Amino acid sequence: MGSVSLRNVSKSFGSVDVIRNVSLDIEEGEFCVLIGPSGSGKSTLLRIIAGLEEVSSGEISIANRVVTEEQPKERDIAMVFQTYALYPQMTVRENMGFALKLAKMPKSEIAEKVEKTANMLELEHLLDRLPKDLSGGQRQRVSMGRAIVRNPAVFLFDEPLSNLDAKLRTQVRGEIADLHKSLGTTSIYVTHDQIEAMTLGQKIVVLKDGMIYQCGSPLQLYQEPDNTFVAGFLGSPSINLIDCVVMKDSSGLFAKLPSGDVIKLDQNLAIDDGAKVVVGIRPEHLTVEDSGHKDGLNAVINTIENTGSDMVVMCSLPSFNMTSAFKEQKSLSVGQEISLVPELSTVLVFDEKTGNRIRA
């Protein structure tokens, strides 16, 4: 196993800066997820770590060894691709053992490693089949098995579940999590899916425009986002972000909403009276109550999504919309007037100009 360290890494394609001065430390045995919208640079960063892309500047270390100038085969990494990248003319057994064969490992040792890995991935009954005879989920497990048999210092995953249907994604995601628990190998995983990021990652790195916007544990990023981008990118349904004006008087600190309603803020926030801010409230921190509730924001229900286990209610208020999400079943209807009551201790406040979080 090995740690991964990036120091001031940049990558440009011509005049286009794709990765901008990124520094990142991934601990030995850690599962790190790189997430961000399309074009954020996450796949390019993974390819740089793998050695498939050269850096324009900066340094890369794996297992405390500088590998910036080394070829991929010299870096002691194994990569799992979204397209499986299996050799169609080879059986599962041959695909899994091919890299070991190239390394001139004895046949008996290759067979032992392939059998052991196949048992771990429940592929033992498929070892003599060709890739065309496998389902998508089975092919992805073979792709993972091919990486596992090499026993690398670092696993690299490039959106490995993107070609699977929803049910298979959930299944294989669980298998990847179980594998990491049993193997403990340092893993770097690229995805645009926040569910994958939140459930798999011990560390999440949020990228935008080739820069790290925040790095931390899943709960840290969800509960304590550094900026409106991270707050809006993580969470489903998305966080409610509302442009407000700060009101400060002898009775306390408040945010005035476009509707004229006010929300009490943390009194320790360093904000001037009249400052323009963005208030963030997660949907699960808005309770739906009867219209006219003394602590609520009067709203009208526009849409109701009921999955049986969850209810999501989208509401309109003067000049903006808000979404509430909850587990309990409530008798609600479109067009109904209600009150949305925010959990004040969870309200987030961001500077309107910079988008950065204002903290106490």
pLDDT (tens digit per residue) in 99-111: 899 889 999 999 9
> Is 309's pLDDT higher than 90?
no
Question: For 185, left (φ over 0), alpha (ψ -120 to 50), or beta?
Answer: beta
Q: What is the DSSP letter of 354?
A: T
Give ∠ CA 8-235-268 in degrees, rounded to 5.
Answer: 80
**What local confidence, expressed as pLDDT, does residue 166 receive?**
84
| Torsional sign, CA 116, 117, 119, 120 | positive
pLDDT at 220 over 90: yes
List, in sequence order, every beta strand (DSSP E) within 159-275.
Answer: 186-191, 203-208, 211-216, 240-249, 252-256, 262-264
User: Residue 318: how many CB atoms within 10 A of its CB?
Assistant: 12
Strands across the sheet with 31-35, in order?
Answer: 77-80, 154-158, 186-191, 31-35, 203-208, 211-216
Query: pTM to 2 decimals?
Result: 0.91
In the beta sheet, which residues pair with residue 286? 342
| CA separation for the pair 182, 35 (Å, rounded) | 24
1 pLDDT above the threshold of 80: no
Question: Given a cut of 90, is residue 162 above it in pLDDT?
Answer: no
Cα 249 to Cα 7: distance, rounded to the nearest angstrom = 47
Average pLDDT, the chain: 93
Ranked by mean pLDDT, which of 77-86, 164-173, 347-356 comes out on top? Answer: 347-356
pLDDT for residue 333: 95
Q: Is 39 helix (H, G, I), strand (E, B) or coil?
A: coil
